[in-house]
Amino acid sequence: SFPPDRPEYFPSAMSQTEKRGARPSSSPQSTKRAKMTTDIDMTNANGAQAVNGVHIDEDLHSRQLAVYGKESMRRMASSDVLIIGLGGLGVEVAKNVILAGLKSVTLHDATPVEIRHLGSQFYLSEGDVGKPRAEACRDSLQELNAAVSVSHSSEELSEAFLGRFDVVVATQMSLTEAVRIDDICRNHGKAFIKADIRGVFASVFCDFGDEFEVTDVDGEQPHSGIVAGITPGTTTLITSVEDDRLEFESGDMVIFSEVDGMSEMNTIGPVKVLSAKPHSLEIEVDSTGFGAYVKGGIVTQVKQPKTLRFKSLSESMDSPGEFLMSDFSKFDRPPVLHVGFRAVDEFVASQGRAPRPGDAADASAVIEIANKMIKSTEGVKLDEKVLGHLASTWCAELNPMAAAFGGVVGQEVVKSASGKFHPIFQWFYFDSIESLPEEPLGAEELAPEGSRYDDQIAVFGRTMQRKLESSNVFLVGAGALGCEFLKNMALMGVSCGASGRVTVTDDDTIEKSNLSRQFLFRDWDIGNAKSSVAGAAAKKINPGLNLEALQNRVSPDTEEVFNGEFWASKDLIVNALDNVNARLYVDSRCVYFGKPLLESGTLGTKCNTQNIIPGLTENYGATRDPPEKSAPMCTLHSFPHNIQHCLTFARSEFEGLLEKTPADANAYLENPEKFVHDVTHSSDAAAKENLKGVFDALITDRCSTFDECIRWARLKFQSQFHDRIRQLTYTFPEDAKTSTGALFWSAPKRFPTALDFDVADGSHASFVQAAAILKAQVHGIDVPSWAGDAQAMVEKAAAVEIGAFVPSDNVKIETDPKKTAAVAADEDASGLDAMVTELEAVVKTLPQGYRLNPIVFEKDDDTNFHMQFIAGFANMRARNYAISEVDKLQAKLIAGRIIPAIATTTALATGLVCLEMYKVFNNAPLEKYRDSFANLALPLFAMAEPKPPVTVQFKDLKWSLWDRWVLEGDLTVQQVLDWFKERGMDAYSISCGSSLLYNSLFPRHKERLSQSMLEVAKTVAKLDISDWQNSFDVVVAVEDENEEDVDVPLVTIAFR
């Protein structure tokens, strides 16, 4: 995956995990059951977990916990925040902070609501005009999170009042007042953030005091590695196993554990890494007197806290230090904006008003003030054009800017409250001048209309506003990104005109875990379609929004819905997806139909945005990540060496035992003859294993009482955590050696120990409880009320008679890491026949219509015992191999493949995308667009011009991936060949799908020359043409006069 702190990797797409996101299950919510608790399960019935007295709802905040961790969430839940100024930026910050789960948020803004505020403040309506802004939006903000106390206040901003809060955020505030409040905050040891968005410009200042400790500067998991060798010396050389690439850097601090022989290494540290290579480390340790190294060991990074000393606002205005950059093509821009913001502030103070939009005299006055200021500032060269834009757009608060910087500032609030991630230190300036019109707009074009869009008109003019209103946009996805996009579009007026329409589609339904970041949803919406609920909420923000909500997945299966006519009617496509395959498909449709696509994705604190513009840029699919590395099958089955291996295997067993095998059994019961035929005629050993699974499900392991389910759970514990391990250590004893004479149990292999079932062990009880209840569900057996008592369950399990295990000499255990499947037990024909015969006999005794109930894994319902089973299974396996165990939350994050997600990153990504939207509707040239990557944790912002597409030149023809050659009419094969001949190319082959329609090498194909392309495609390729289709595509292979292949575009035959 690509390093977040390496700008040279930008702007290539994220790693597949970062692109993909996790697709929430679309299955209906599982029936709620009474929560069964054990002594190892601290989660209450509502999914809330107590962390040092603070309750965290893990069901609600699971994706956020994956980013912050429990301790940081606890700190956040103890922090009080004051937000001053509830315009567009203020309300975005409030939304993100409330969703994050801080203790309280107080809103302070007595400014009367004006109609223009509705263009960026999404919790105001026309009925609120004249009311104080803070009061008008409080109730709506409170709905976001009942666990956060949200209030409004009109108290004087006195020292006594400000001292009540841990963090103070000031927006739309003069520098003089901000300096006063910052000084008060510093005196009381409170954090202060000043933030402003002015047109397409933004400024953020942070002051977290004289000594602010950052506990984790980047939020990444500590690196670790498996030790394969230690070379003693005055400095010590550590080498790792061959296939384990080390991720350490020089200067890192590390500790050691599990080192055999050189035991001193296990007690020293943390020690400093002097130099780091992919497979070795040199550390600052004199090990000349240490014992001799024998084997093994784990080296782990110890993340070090960092103390920052902030300067006050008054001091840093004159000596700002190093600015945080966002676009390295604008290296000199931050110092100019630092002066510019001060100059406009002085203009406002002296004139009693803001500079007027497009007013040349006001802009000149601001430039004059700035020139006076820089006389005392060395090294700053003013860009008067930039300052002119700043002055001209100062009075406008734009939604995309509010969204983006609501994310940035909201994250800074979280940092100040939690100590997690590196704060902005201390100034960050940003601009999107590229979004502005190419030429200055006249006064009439910028004049207000008395509407909610007046601020946007003041920057982009009435013509752009009408374009936005009349646009037809297709939004794919209504999850976290989709909710933000719908809010932004409603505020911007996109598709709010008579001829405009937003079409949003999402086939998913709302779950509780969505509520912490998909802010258009409420708890009463759970179970409803995302697109419908999000669409209704967006229309509430702006009743003028024309919106159609669909519940279709965009895929090859829905091309009858999303057909050529549909795509042709759209002006812009916006992706709000969470997986690579869906993105690639939408990307391919946009390329095919020549439609602009705005792409974005998030992963925790990271996000990226990409512009895919017809004819100008490369497409999303132009860059592909290498396949993600997965653990070999033998590692998962027999030689795990980390908890991820244990959890992956546990989930695989869950799905095999409780979903796949019952489903196979049902398939057999539905049509026994077909199932047996498929198995017996398959060369795949796994197919025969499927028959064995059906045999077990319907005969060996079939349960008819709950006591039998407990027995099954106890036997499963015995076979997985005792017998399996005994067999493994019998086959490969601890002193076993390989064919080369090396110890078999060398790193990374860990020698395991079998577990004995213990009634007093709460973990054993938890596993048996979950396994028995899930087994009962598979067989439709009622679960008795006493099953909630884990102790009663484990006592019954202990009474199950267990036979003595005898290892076998005939068991083959796979050790080849290149094998992709587990070794299947050999079954001869007679063995299969015997199973089939017994199955046939048993089936006759089953009730009519008997079926099992396959259980589909659902990670987000803590009452369904799915994660209790998987966490218990994984932790027992971890004990077998002396691997550190995990709690149920960590198990859920790993086994559930939960993609970390927070509201702040989502807001930033969508705000940046909507800034690009102005460029699309303005037909901007390539150099105006910006692809972006950001990591709010570091913080890092990197923006760059998109890459142009690869072009092909042939004689006087030029094309790229965006070109598609459309041949009109019901043409014959010969006419298609002639079309290419006229352009100097020899077409020698035509294919449709996987079928070859014509090839000049085959004599029999000559008879097809006179046939129509449609006729040949129907006959040869079995092409099925629906009533709504009027064309089909073919791939034509051509050569030039030198018999060199020419890569030509896709050819469309428009036959009607």
Residues 195-220: tens digit of each pLDDT? 999 999 999 999 999 999 999 999 99
Quote the pLDDT of residue 60.
86
Type of residue numbered 1031: S
List, edge to edge, every strand of the sheet that includes 501-505: 547-550, 501-505, 472-476, 572-575, 597-603, 606-612, 931-935, 940-944
Active site residue 483: no
Asked whether 946 and 598 are in contact (CB, 8 A), the reply is no
925-969 pLDDT per residue, tens: 999 999 999 999 999 999 999 999 999 999 999 999 999 999 999
Quote the pLDDT of residue 39.
31
DSSP 8-state class, residue 234:
S
593-618 pLDDT per residue, tens: 999 999 999 999 999 999 999 999 99
Question: Which among 94, 78, 343, 64 has a CA at the least distance from the CA of 195?
Answer: 94
Asked whether 96 and 904 are in contact (CB, 8 A), the reply is yes
Quote the pLDDT of residue 1028.
77
Asked whether 76 and 414 are in contact (CB, 8 A), the reply is yes
Q: Which helix (H) or strand (E) holds 772?
A: helix 762-778
List phi, psi (to 5°) of 502: -100, 125
Range scoring the smallest mean pLDDT among 430-434, 664-668, 823-827, 956-960: 823-827
Tell me the C-alpha distance between 697 and 657, whole Å: 9
Range scoring the smallest mean pLDDT among 41-50, 415-424, 553-562: 41-50
Quote the pLDDT of residue 1047.
94
Average pLDDT value for residue range 76-95:
98
Range scoring the smallest mean pLDDT among 31-35, 516-520, 878-882: 31-35
Q: Beta strands of 791-905 (E only): which ranges?
A: none
DSSP 8-state class, residue 445:
H
Asked whether 542 and 490 are in contact (CB, 8 A), the reply is yes
Contacts 24+ apart (CB under 8 A), 996-999: 996/1020, 997/973, 997/1021, 997/1034, 998/973
CA-CA-CA-CA dihedral for 795, 801, 804, 805, to nearest 10: -70
Quote the pLDDT of residue 212.
98
Highest mean pLDDT among 28-37, 684-693, 1036-1045: 1036-1045
DSSP 8-state class, residue 215:
S
Type of residue numbered 989: S
Cis peptide before 112 (omega within 30 of 0): no
Choosing from 634, 646, 703, 914, which is the catalytic residue? 634
Tell me the C-alpha distance between 941 and 931, whole Å: 11
3 state SS of 845: coil
Instruction: Indicate the length of the chain as a whole number.
Output: 1056
Structure tokens at 293: 């190294």
Quote the pLDDT of residue 28.
32
Question: Which among 502, 306, 521 has a CA at the least distance from the CA of 419?
Answer: 306
3 state SS of 167: strand
Structure tokens at 1051: 């050819």
Quote the pLDDT of residue 42.
34
124-140 pLDDT per residue, tens: 999 999 999 999 999 99
Type of residue numbered 530: K
DSSP 8-state class, residue 355:
P
Quote the pLDDT of residue 830.
67
The partner residues of 598 in beta bridges, in order of sequence, read: 574, 611
Tell me the C-alpha distance between 1016 and 672, whole Å: 41
16-72 pLDDT per residue, tens: 333 333 333 333 333 332 223 333 333 443 445 555 567 788 888 889 999 999 999
Type of residue numbered 897: R
Mean pLDDT of the chain: 92
Quote the pLDDT of residue 29.
33
Residue 489 in this model has a pLDDT that exceeds 60:
yes
Query: How far out from the chain centre does Cα 102 lie?
Result: 23
Tell me the C-alpha distance between 381 and 94, whole Å: 37
> Helices 903-921 and 399-418 meet at what angle, rounded to 10?
160
Residue 121 in this model has a pLDDT that exceeds 90:
yes
3 state SS of 407: helix
Residue 367 in this model has a pLDDT that exceeds 70:
yes
Alpha helix ranges (H) inside 494-552? 530-541
Tell me the C-alpha distance between 907 and 602, whole Å: 10
Question: Which among 757, 795, 793 has a CA at the least distance from the CA of 776?
Answer: 793
Tell me the C-alpha distance between 381 and 36, whole Å: 68
